[in-house]
Amino acid sequence: MVSALVPNRRAVYALSVCRASLEAGGAHMTTSAFGPRRGGWRRPVSLPADLAELRGPLTGMVRLPLRIYASGRGPARSFDLSNEAERIELYEIVLTDGTAEDVCRYVNREELLRLWPRLWLPPHVRQVWEPRLGVVAS
């Protein structure tokens, strides 16, 4: 079994701060020992057939299955939807790693449109979703 570590938003932010500090001092940093990543495999982005199917909850606790979010154990996989920061994190995870059925189950269309400018998503995920949402590329 092969596994890979997937950094969370905090780790990505910390890495970007380190990179900026090093580059300000004239040093250069790559994201791996083998140099910067170019291309490579990306998880396919799953879209539901109809965005009206996005009827996810807006309140309550949601626990993601391991197949979507394997970075947390126990309570770390649970999200309190009354907390906007946790709702944003849940949407980022589901839009990036979930199936079309997962997206329909956990994401609410109106809330997705409201939160869209604040979501931290990989560029390939944004490129697929923005035309469907009718959002101008950010």
Written as one string, the DSSP assignment of 4-37 is -----HHHHHHHHHHHHHHHHTT----SSTT-S-
What pLDDT score does 44 carry?
87
The residue with greater pLDDT, 88 or 40, is 88
Task: Grade residue 19 by pLDDT with cuts at 50, 70 and 90.
Answer: low
Asked if pLDDT for residue 17 goes beyond 50, the answer is yes
Q: Please measure the distance between the N-terminal and C-terminal CA atoms of the chain and give it in whole angstroms.
A: 37
Least confident of 2-6, 64-68, 88-92: 2-6
- pLDDT of res. 43: 79
Distance CA 5, CA 43 (A): 14
